[in-house]
Amino acid sequence: MRHPRVGVAVLTMGTRPAELAALLDSVAAQETPATRVVVVGNGTPLPDGLPKEVATVELAENLGIPGGRNVALEALRDFGDVDVVVNLDDDGLLVDRHVFTRLVELYAADERLGVVGFRIADERGRTARRHVPRLRASDPMRGGPVTTFLGGAHALSMAMLDEIGGWPEPFFYAHEETDLAWRALDARWKVLYAPELELRHPWTSPTRHAVYYRNLARNRVWLAKRNLPVLLVPAYLGVWTALTLARTRSGSGLKAWFAGFAEGVRTPCPPRRPMRWSTAWLMTRLGRPPVI
């Protein structure tokens, strides 16, 4: 079997040129080279001095994470020589030269492998609990089939994307990975967490983004309305409302969250393609039923 060809996509806001340069160096140092690398300036000019072999796209406005990734995806698709696209945060770093080699082995061994999620670790090698895509998150080195993946470092089968479609652009930021993973599972593509594939990334908090609470809630509602059987929609949203009330200590955060929740209820985010009940049962067997 021919080994899959890897393309790399990186979004940048232009605020971390040194980190972006280091990331691209780590991509170039991979034992198995990427066939293509695309850097998208998401509403910003790109810094000078990018390697000449890197394809570049500068967008006049910020399309958000899913919108920018769709642009990168189309650029890679136009080349016609990429089987697997790897999305990487512009302030991450591949510290192991064998990441793409292992990734190619995984895809070559399973033609229904759709998504491979990397492990994200900070400068000291720690992986935050929120970066482990399973409910039992005490051991970040335990890999296997999962129901979602991390946005900062992952790989996607181009054949899968051709079948299920790309990123949900209206989401802009938050839960776009879960939306794509649920659609992949419903089409019977596999989602794998492979912790041996590491992206080194600075320790951060998601609340650093100004739109965090509002988008988190709005997109949670959209996620349910787009993908869940109608009987599961109130259960899913009820569980997450209770968890948010229990976990959130910021009054302004809660206010923004409920404003986003109301926006999600009020506004559509088509298309609605509810998953099969067999997919809900599959997710339950994988350890994360689609109500949490």
Q: What is the CATH number of the domain that holds 127?
A: 3.90.550.10
Average pLDDT of the segment spanning 27-31: 98
- Whether residue 195 sits in one domain with residue 54: yes
Indicate if 103 and 170 belong to the same structural domain.
Answer: yes
89 assigned to some structural domain: yes
Q: Do residues 176 and 212 both lie within one domain?
A: no
| Residue 65 token pair | 């994470």
Same domain, 242 and 148: no
Q: Which long-range contacts (CB under 8 A, 24 or more apart) does 203-206 make?
A: 203/122, 203/123, 203/126, 203/128, 206/130
Mean model confidence pLDDT for the chain: 95
The share of the chain scoring above pLDDT 90, in percent, equals: 90
Query: Where do the H-state alpha helices sit in the chain?
Result: 17-28, 64-79, 99-109, 158-164, 176-186, 212-227, 232-247, 251-266, 277-285
Final residue belonging to a domain, choices 173, 204, 235: 204
Could you tell me if 35 and 178 lie in one domain? yes
Structural domain of 242:
207-285
131 and 47 assigned to the same domain: yes
Q: Are residues 118 and 235 in the same domain?
A: no
Instruction: Return the pLDDT at 203.
Output: 82
Count of structural domains within the chain: 2
What percent of the chain has pLDDT above 70? 97
261-280 burial by CB neighbour count: b if 16+ within 10 A, else e? Answer: bebbeeeebeeeebbeeebb
Single residue among 154, 181, 204 that ends a domain in this structure:
204
DSSP 8-state secondary structure symbol assigned to residue 61: S
Q: Which of 77, 103, 107 is closest to 88 using CA atoms? A: 103
Whether residues 105 and 218 fall in one domain? no
Amino acid at 215: N
pTM recorded for the entire structure: 0.95
Mean pLDDT of 19-30: 98
Last residue of a domain, one of 204, 220, 239: 204
Say what the pLDDT of residue 207 is: 55
Say if residue 241's pLDDT is above 90: yes
Q: Are residues 153 and 21 in the same domain?
A: yes
Residue 241 in domain: yes
Look at residue 208 and tell me whether its pLDDT is greater than 60. Answer: no
Q: Considering the domain boundaries, does residue 290 fall inside one?
A: no
Same domain, 111 and 253: no
Residue 209 pLDDT > 80: no
**Do 132 and 65 fall within a single domain?**
yes
Determine the pLDDT at residue 204: 73
